[in-house]
């Protein structure tokens, strides 16, 4: 399979290594310095891990070209609805996930299950911590937002997530930490006067994210539609 990489930072380089190891070919490595080369690049699928400011245009161009695109860039999702509308109109293929790690996606399901159990236990205050490397541009992380959305959809007393503590009981606080050389740690906390419960996922490297993205790229080739990890993993 021929892959176009949109974004060639640390994540893009890890994806390249994984893809080559699985027998694929990288036909273009597009970054801010050679963005114009994308127009003349050919491939079976694009994998997009760039920057929040570039992601929308990158994905839009892929769909307009009928190029299946696998996107993992976070921080641009206010415009995701536009991409989905364009994808439907164009009969394109668009796959988005806030995190491509298979372990994290199991963690998402565990998070939803515990949230349902906690719906009527108002004595527990709920919060999310996310810790990432200092180079990460957006906060909170897309993974933390997905965790928060999973809680809000199952716990009626929580109405929205916030990244600054407000003290309002209906707000779900996500605290963001930026520390050098941390691939990603997420902790969901339930705290009461009697006891605390935590679930945690710790990524030890970017390999898990990259492997998931490449496997999804293999899966989406030849398909059309709007997809998520639930489609890929058949949860």
Residues tagged active-site: 132, 136
Considering only CA atoms, which of 112, 58, 92 is closest in space to residue 227? 92
Helix H, strand E, coil C: the string for the chain is CEEEEECCCHHHHHHHHHHHHCCCEEEEEECHHHHHHHHHCCCCEEEECCCHHHHHHHHHHHHHCCCCEEECCCCCHHHHHHHHHHHHHHCCEEEECCCCCHHHHHHHHHHHHHHHHHCCCCCCEEEEEEEECCCCCCCCCHHHHHHHHHHHCCCCCCCEEECCCCCCCCEEEEEEEECCCCCEEEEEEEECCCCEEEEEEEECCCHHHHHHHHHHHHHHCCCCEEECHHHHHCC
Give the other-Cβ count within 10 Å of 67's Cβ: 19
Q: Which pair of structure tokens corresponds to residue 92?
A: 């394109």
């Amino acid at each position: 399979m021929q892959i176009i990489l949109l974004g060639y930072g640390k994540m893009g380089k890890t994806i390249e290594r994984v893809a080559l190891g699985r027998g694929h070919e990288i036909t273009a490595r597009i970054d801010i310095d050679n963005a114009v080369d994308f127009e003349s690049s050919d491939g079976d699928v694009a994998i997009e891990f760039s920057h929040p400011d570039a992601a929308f245009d990158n994905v839009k161009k892929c769909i307009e070209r009928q190029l299946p695109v696998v996107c993992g860039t976070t921080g641009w999702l206010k415009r995701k609805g536009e991409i989905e509308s364009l994808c439907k109109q164009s009969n394109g293929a668009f796959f988005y996930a806030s995190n491509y790690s298979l372990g994290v996606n199991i963690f998402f399901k565990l998070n939803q299950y515990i949230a349902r159990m906690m719906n009527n236990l108002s004595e527990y205050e709920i919060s999310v911590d996310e810790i990432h490397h200092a180079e990460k541009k957006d906060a909170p992380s897309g993974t933390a937002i997905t965790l928060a959305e999973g809680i809000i959809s199952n716990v009626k007393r929580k109405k929205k997530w916030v990244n600054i503590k407000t003290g309002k009981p209906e707000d779900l606080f996500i605290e963001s930490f930026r520390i050098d050389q941390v691939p990603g740690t997420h902790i969901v906390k339930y705290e009461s006067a009697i006891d605390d419960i935590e679930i945690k996922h710790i990524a030890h490297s970017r390999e898990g994210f990259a492997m998931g993205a490449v496997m999804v790229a293999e899966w989406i080739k030849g398909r059309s539609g709007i997809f998520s990890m639930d489609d890929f993993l058949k949860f």
